Amino acid sequence: MSTFIPINLRIDGRRILFIGGGALAMHKLQSVLLFTGDVTVLAPDISMEILSTGIHQLKKSYEPSDLDGFFLIYACSEDDRLNHRVLDDAQEKGILCNIVDNRRDSDFISPALFRHDGMTVAVSSDGRNARRSVEWRNAIKDLFLGNAHHPASNI
């Protein structure tokens, strides 16, 4: 069983790399962009949605040296073998890596987030029930913002 400790990592001045340029990457990118724009997406094909964010992009195939100089890695390609190769390379270099939607093999996971007026609430189920984490996060959001209804959040 994987167990995760909730922490806040200082990321100012630290670069974050996403390997993968599709829907999985965009889903995680939304929450990271709440905190920093110092993000690079690396993939041979990058979706228009990601391109529209204006973040730095590298349109190329992955190589282990691509990890150099990054603080956190999100492996979020559609290729599970590539994601595990990225994880292995990152761990070898001492860089924390998250394989999106794979808590079992990841060094860290991302909670459901609500950010408002400089405050952040993070809800985590240790990756066991993301849907319930989002429900709790939305209930907290409603409590603070007084919303009776709100669209489902992807963060």
pLDDT at 147: 65
CATH number of 16-99: 3.40.50.720
Q: Is the dihedral of CA 134, 57, 116, 107 positive or negative?
A: positive
pLDDT at 12: 92
pLDDT at 28: 92
Using a 10 angstrom Cβ sphere, with 0-12 exposed, 13-18 middle and 19 or more buried, the burial of residue 58 is middle
Q: Map out the domains of the chain as residue ranges.
A: 16-99, 112-145
Using alpha carbons, select from 44, 45, 97 the residue that is nearest to residue 67.
Answer: 97
pLDDT digits (tens, 9 = 90+) for 96-137: 999 998 889 999 988 888 888 888 888 887 777 778 888 988
Low-confidence stretches of the chain (pLDDT < 50) are 150-154
Distance CA 1, CA 25 (A): 25
